[in-house]
Structure 1
Amino acid sequence: MAVQMPFAGLLFMRRLVRNSSQRHLSCRCIIQKCRMRQTRTVSTAFVNYNENKGDDSDPSPLSSNLTFKQALLSRRRPLSPLERISSLLPQDALSPEVMQLREEQNQEASEEDTNIHTQAEHEAIPKEDDSETHHASDAAMETEEEKGSIPPTLPGESLLVFGELLLAEHRKKGRVEFRRMFALQAGARLNSSWGIILHDNIARQPAGRFLKTSRGTPILIRRPSLEDYVLHMKRGPAIAYPKDAATMLMMMDVTEGDRVLESGSGSGAMSLFLSKAVGCKGSVLSMEVREDHHKRAVLNYNRWRTAWSLRRGEEWPDNVQFHRADLCTASPLIAGQGFNAIALDMANPHLVLPTVIPHLHPGAVCAVYLANITQVIDLLEGMRCSALPLLCERIIEVPNRDWLVAPALQKDGKYCIRKAPVLVEEQREETEKDKTSTEQPAAFGSFPYIARPHPEQMSHTAFLVKLRKCER
C-alpha cells in the first residue's frame, strides 16, 4: 500500500499537467484568433484611411496606425513547458528559480510594450525640424555646386579656367588606356568610352584632380607640360621627339640670351623647346620651305602661348621668328647675324652647311637631326668634299624604352611577403637562373616586384650628329 501511493500521486500529477496544457493550448488558439481578427480590422481601417485621406474629420488614422503596428510587433516567442506549468501553479508553491524566471519574463514583456509605443509615436509624429534641416543642407549643397570652385590652398596655385589646354587620362593596371588633350570651353563635354564629363564641371577646379564620368570612372584632369603638348598637338610632318630635342639642347649648350638658327620648322616642336631655352633675352630664327608646314608651326606656337598666359597669368616670350624660305637661298635673312647654335632638321643638311657655317660663332655647335644612318653617311661625305671647318664629335642614337614595374601578386590577389636578404652565393645562383628570363625581379630583401618592357612602347629611333666649328 505504501508503494502504490506514490504511483497514484504521479498519475494524478500527470493528468493535471495534461489537462492544464490542453486548456492552455485552447486559450492560446483563442487569443491568436482574436489577434488575427484585430489585425484584419486594423488593416481594413488603415486602407480605408488611405482611401479617405483627404477627409480631415476622421480622427482614426493615428490610432489605427498605432494598433496596426502593435498587432504586428506584439507577436512573441512560444512558451516553454516549464513556463507553462509555472504559470498554472500558485505563487507559494514555486521555487526561487521559477520565481526569477517569471520576473524576467514580465520585465521583457514590459520592455517590449514600451518599445512598441515609443516606436509608433516617433513614426506617427511628423518630423518638421528634421525636414527643415534636410532642406537647409540641400540648399547648402546646391550653393556649393553652383559655385563649383574649390579655393586654392597653396600660394601661387590657380584654378582651371575656360580657354586653357588640359590633358585627360585614365590608367588601368599601370597602363594608359585613355589620353586626350583638349581646350576647356563653356558648354562643351569630354567624350570617352568610359563616360562623359561636362567642361562646366571641370572649370574652377584645381589641376591634377580625379573627376568621375557619367559611368563612374575616375579620369585625371591636369595641365599638359610642354612635352605632353608636343606629343599631342596637331602635326603635319614628323616632330622632333622630346628625348631627341633634350639631347640636341644639351649638345648645343643653349642658355638664356642665346640666338639660335633653326632650319626645318616642321610642326613647331623644336621651335618651342628652343624658345623655352633661350628665354626672354634670346631669340630663335626658324625657317621652313613648305607653306603648310609653316602655317602649322605658327598655329601650334601661338596656341601654346595662349594656354600659357591663361595658366600662369603671364605671357610666354614671343622670341621665335618664323619665315617661309629656303636656307640655301636665304642669305639676306641671316646676313650680318651671328648665332650661338644651329639646329638642322632636314633631308639634305649637307647642302646648307656652306651657307650657315660662316654665321656660326667659333667653337659653337651645329646639331643635326637625321632619320636613318644613310643620311648620316651623306652628311659626312658632303662635309669631306666641301672641306668645311667642322669637327664631327659624336654620332649617337637616343633610344626610348618604357617599362612596366608593379608589385608581384599571388593567385589569391594578395601581395607577396617581404623576403629576407640572402647570402652572396645564393644570390649568384638565383641571378644565373634569371639571366634567360625577360622579367627582372627587384633587389633581394624587398617586396617582390616584376619589371618588363612596355608592350606598347613607342618605337622611334633617330640619329643625332654633333658638329663643332673649329679652324685648322
Structure 2
Amino acid sequence: MSLSAGRPESDLRLCGKHFYETHGIAKKSGPRRRHLSPLERISSLLPQEVLSPEVEQLREQTQQEQDGDTSRDFTQEAGTVSKLEDLETHVASEAAEVPNTSFHDEETLPGECFLTFGELVIAEYRKKRRVEFRKMFQLEAGSRLQSSWGIILHDDIAGQPAGCFLKTSRGVSISIRRASLEDYVLYMKRGPAIAYPKDAANMLMMMDVTEGDCVLESGSGSGAMSLFLSRAVGSKGSVLSLEVRKDHHKRSVLNYERWRKSWSLHRREQWPDNVEFHNADLCTASPLLSGRAFNAIALDMIRPHLALPTVLPHLYPGAVCAVYLANITQKDGQFHTKQAPTPDDDETDRETEEPSNDGGSPSFGRVPYIARPHPAQMSHTAFLVKLRKYRH
C-alpha cells in the first residue's frame, strides 16, 4: 500500500517542504538538465551487458553532439557578454572624457548668434501636437524659468543656439527660441486689445505700405500695429502714431522700446527709430498734421468716421485708408424692443398676436446691440474696411 494513498497532493508538497527544512537540506537551484533522447531513455532501462556495440556508439555520438552544442552556446554567450561589457566601458570612457557640447560640434553658420542676456525668448512645450506650455520672457543673469514641468536656469539658456531643446529639472525637454515680432505682439504686456498679426498683415497689404512711405496711425493702443508699420516703412520711412488715452500712449511707447532693445542685441544693429508717438486726439490734431502728406492711413478708433474730414486732406490721391473695426453697431438697442403694433380706428376690436414687452427694456438688455458674424466669437477679431481717395 502506498504511503501517499488517500492524502491530497497539496499535503504531500507541504510534507516534502517540511522534510527539507527539518534536515537542513537545500534544494538544488542549478541549471535545468537537458531532456533525454528516446534512445537514452530505453537504453537506461536495460543492463549495460545487454546493449549492443552499435547502440553504445550511437549513444556516444549523440552525447558528443549535444556537448558540442552546449559548449558553443556558452562560448557565444560569453563572447556577447564580453563584447557588451567592452562597448559599455568604451562609451562610458568617451562620455567621461567629452563634455555635453553637441550643439557646438555642428558647424556654425556665418552670422549666427547665440542667445544672450537681454533678449526676448520663447519657451514652448508640446505634448501630442498640443501646446501645453508657452511663455515669453527676457533672459536675465541669475533668473530661472519656472513651469509645471520643471525649472531651467537663464544662465544655462544663455550661449545656446536659437531653436534648441533644453531639459528641465524634471527631465522634460522644452524648446527655446528667439521671439519673433509675431510672438512679441501676442505675448507682450497690453493695455487695450491689439491688432492681431493676421489683421495687421491684411491692412499692410490693403495700404500697400513699402519702404520709404510716410504713414499716419490713429489708435496706438499697445503698439502692435506701430511695430508692424515701423518694419514695413524701414529706416527711410516714418510713422506718425496718435493715441487719445495717456495710459495707452505710455504702454505703446514702452512696448516699442522694449522690442527695439531686444532686436538690436540679436541683429547687432539698431531697429530704425521711425515712429513718432503723440498723446493727442486725431479729430482736433489739425495743427499736428499741418504741412504733412501721407502715403497711407491706418485707423483703429471707436468712431473713425469722425476723423475722416481731418485726415483725408493729407492723404495722397489714390492712396488707401484702412480702418480696423472691432464691431459694427448698426442700430441702437431701443429699436429692438418688442412692442405690440398700434391698432387703427377701425380695427380696435381686433386682437393682435404680437407679444408685448411689459418691462419696456430692450430685448438685448442694457447692452447696446453689436453686429458681429456670430454672438460667440472664436476666430473673428475685427472688420477691416478699405477706403480709397479719389479726386474728381
TM-score in terms of structure 1 length:
0.57
Secondary structure at the counterpart of residue 372 of structure 1: coil
Aligned residue-pair number: 327
Q: 1:296 Cα deviation (Å)?
A: 1.1
Q: 1:104 Cα deviation (Å)?
A: 4.0
Q: 1:311 Cα deviation (Å)?
A: 2.7
Cα distance in structure 2, aligned partners of 1:399 and 1:361: 33
**Aligned pair in 2 of structure 1 residues 300, 100: CA closer, same or farther (>3 Å)?**
farther
The 5-angstrom pairing of residues 126-165 of structure 1 reads 133=90, 136-141=93-98, 143-144=99-100, 149=104, 151-165=106-120
Q: 1:130 Cα deviation (Å)?
A: 8.6
| 1:178 aligned to which of 133, 156, 161 | 133
Aligned match of 1:301: 256
**Aligned pair in 2 of structure 1 residues 351, 117: CA closer, same or farther (>3 Å)?**
closer
2:208 counterpart of 1:253: yes
1:135-171: CA deviations, max 9, x gaps? 6323334x235x8745455444433333222223334
Cα distance in structure 1, aligned partners of 2:377 and 2:145: 26
Q: 1:240 Cα deviation (Å)?
A: 1.1
Identity of aligned residues (%): 65
Aligned match of 2:59: 101
**Aligned pair in 2 of structure 1 residues 151, 324: CA closer, same or farther (>3 Å)?**
farther
Cα distance in structure 1, aligned partners of 2:261 and 2:279: 23
Secondary structure at the counterpart of residue 100 of structure 2: helix
More helix by share: 1
Q: Are the aligned partners of 1:259 and 1:278 in contact in 2 as well (CA < 8 Å)?
A: yes
Segments of 5+ residues of structure 2 without an aligned counterpart are 1-19, 333-370
1:178-202: CA deviations, max 9, x gaps? 3222223344333333343443443
Segments of 5+ residues of structure 1 without an aligned counterpart are 1-32, 41-70, 378-396, 401-455
| 1:467 aligned to which of 383, 387, 392 | 387
Q: 1:232 Cα deviation (Å)?
A: 1.4
**Superposed CA RMSD:** 4.3
Greater Cα shift, 221-230 or 169-178: 169-178
**Aligned pair in 2 of structure 1 residues 178, 331: CA closer, same or farther (>3 Å)?**
same
Q: 1:297 Cα deviation (Å)?
A: 0.8
Aligned match of 1:47: none
Greater Cα shift, 353-362 or 79-88: 79-88
Q: Are the aligned partners of 2:328 and 2:372 in contact in 1 as well (CA < 8 Å)?
A: no
Aligned match of 1:318: 273
Aligned match of 1:234: 189
Cα distance in structure 1, aligned partners of 2:69 and 2:118: 67
| 1:282 aligned to which of 217, 237, 246 | 237
Q: 1:264 Cα deviation (Å)?
A: 1.3
Aligned match of 2:48: 89
**Aligned pair in 2 of structure 1 residues 315, 178: CA closer, same or farther (>3 Å)?**
same
Q: 1:459 Cα deviation (Å)?
A: 3.7
Q: Are the aligned partners of 2:39 and 2:59 in contact in 1 as well (CA < 8 Å)?
A: no
**Aligned pair in 2 of structure 1 residues 117, 281: CA closer, same or farther (>3 Å)?**
closer
Secondary structure at the counterpart of residue 114 of structure 2: coil
Q: Are the aligned partners of 2:304 and 2:323 in contact in 1 as well (CA < 8 Å)?
A: yes
Secondary structure at the counterpart of residue 169 of structure 1: strand
AA aligned to 2:193 is: A
AA aligned to 2:59 is: L
